[in-house]
Amino acid sequence: MTCEETRKNLPLFLYGELSFDEEEQVEVHVDECDACRLALAREKALFQALDGAEMVPAPQLLEESRVELRRRLGTLRGNSGMRAPSIWDKLREGFTIHFHFAPGIAQVAGAAAMLVLGFLTARMAPNSLLGNWHSAGLVDPATSRVRYVEPMAPGRVQIVIDETHQRVLSGRLDDQAIQRLLLTAAKDPSDAGLRVESVDLLKNNSQSAEIRSALVYALEHDSNAGVRLKALDGLKQFAEDPDTRKALTQVLLTDDNPGVRTQVIDLLVQRHTDAMVGVLQELLEKEDNGYIRMRCQKVLQEMNASAETY
């Protein structure tokens, strides 16, 4: 590869966008050519300067955008009639579907029949079948759902009910009961947004061993990169701790998100240890992110270690 071709390829080389062969040719050329090595150093400096020019929206802007979107979606749903069907919508649909094909008079007759049926049921059915459970607080149709039923001895049944009751709790972030709830929310598999917010709150109390362990777990296992980045934030001050370093090393080698790997490598290379040489060499074999590759190579160079494994 000529000097001109090499220099043309330097940005793509740093972005990890060259083919294996092209990358090899650039590396060989740069090793042998002082002028191109200098050009590569300048290109890296340019990349670093550009990195610093990135704009990150302030959290307040994001929050305002979310609030506005929620409001506009609400208006849109109201106008178009689009909204999530609730359990009562589904029940109502179940009752009305039979009338859709009937003429208007049949719908009126059906509605009247339902009224009469309700009236008679209320008058004739024993209290033990209707009002008692509700008044005794056993079931509340607005917040309960029968999960499954299981026949027992003849004439008896066991009913398992899922109940959702909303309660509002407030308390200090260092309160153990609050922390326990946040730890549970931080693992809620159904809501990544909730996990992000919970981990964000927990990370300020990472002196607690339980919280630190939850942060390590989130960093290693959470499927959402936003959650992993928040957990990483909370672990930054423990980058010297051997167990945390071990977890960070594992994440550096396995995480599929370049943003997470970038932050992890920045943390790990603050202290050069012999154990890192093998990790960085292993990473270089598969890493395609230009910045991370550059950091690896720089640290290995500073430690007088080869960038390759043999």
| Residues in 83-112 at the binding interface with other proteins, rule: CB under 8 A | 83-85
Phi, psi for 84 (deg, rounded to 5): -70, 130
- CA–CA separation, 251 vs 253, rounded Å? 5
Q: Which 3 state secondary structure label does DSSP give 145?
A: strand
Query: Does residue number 271 form part of the binding site for other proteins (CB under 8 A)?
Result: no
- For 42, other C-beta atoms within 10 Å of its C-beta total 12
Instruction: Kindly report the number of other CB atoms within 10 A of residue 282's CB atom.
Output: 15
Using CB under 8 A, which of 5, 24, 38, 48 touches other proteins?
Answer: 48
Tell me which residues in 237-266 interact with other proteins (CB under 8 A): 254-256, 258-259, 266
Q: Under a CB-based contact definition with an 8 Å cutoff, are residues 146 and 159 in contact?
A: yes
Residue 298, exposed/middle/buried by CB under 10 A (0-12, 13-18, 19+)? Answer: middle
- Residue with Cβ nearer other proteins (179 or 230): 230
Among 21, 34, 56, 158, binds other proteins (CB under 8 A): 56
* Among positions 3, 70, 130, 177, the unique one binding other proteins when judged by CB under 8 A: 70
Q: According to the binding rule CB under 8 A, does residue 69 interact with other proteins?
A: yes
Verify binding: residue 168, other proteins, rule CB under 8 A: no
Among 24, 51, 93, 241, binds other proteins (CB under 8 A): 51
Q: Give the nearer residue to other proteins in terms of CB position, either 205 or 224.
A: 224
CB of 139 to other proteins, least distance (A): 24
42 vs 147, beta carbon nearer other proteins: 42
- Report the alpha-carbon distance of residue 31 to residue 54 in Å, rounded: 31
Q: Does 182 bind other proteins (CB under 8 A)?
A: no
The Cα 145–Cα 161 span in angstroms is 6
- CB 163 → other proteins: shortest distance, Å? 18
* Cα diameter, the chain: 99
Instruction: Pick one of 182, 186, 196, 269: the residue that binds other proteins (CB under 8 A).
Output: 196
Which residues share a beta bridge with 158?
150
Closest among 175, 182, 217, 176 to 202, alpha carbons compared: 182
Q: Which residues pair with 150 in a beta bridge?
A: 158
Binding residues vs other proteins (CB under 8 A): 8, 11-12, 15, 17, 42-43, 45-58, 60-62, 64-66, 68-70, 72-73, 76-77, 82-85, 191-193, 196, 223-224, 226, 254-256, 258-259, 266, 289
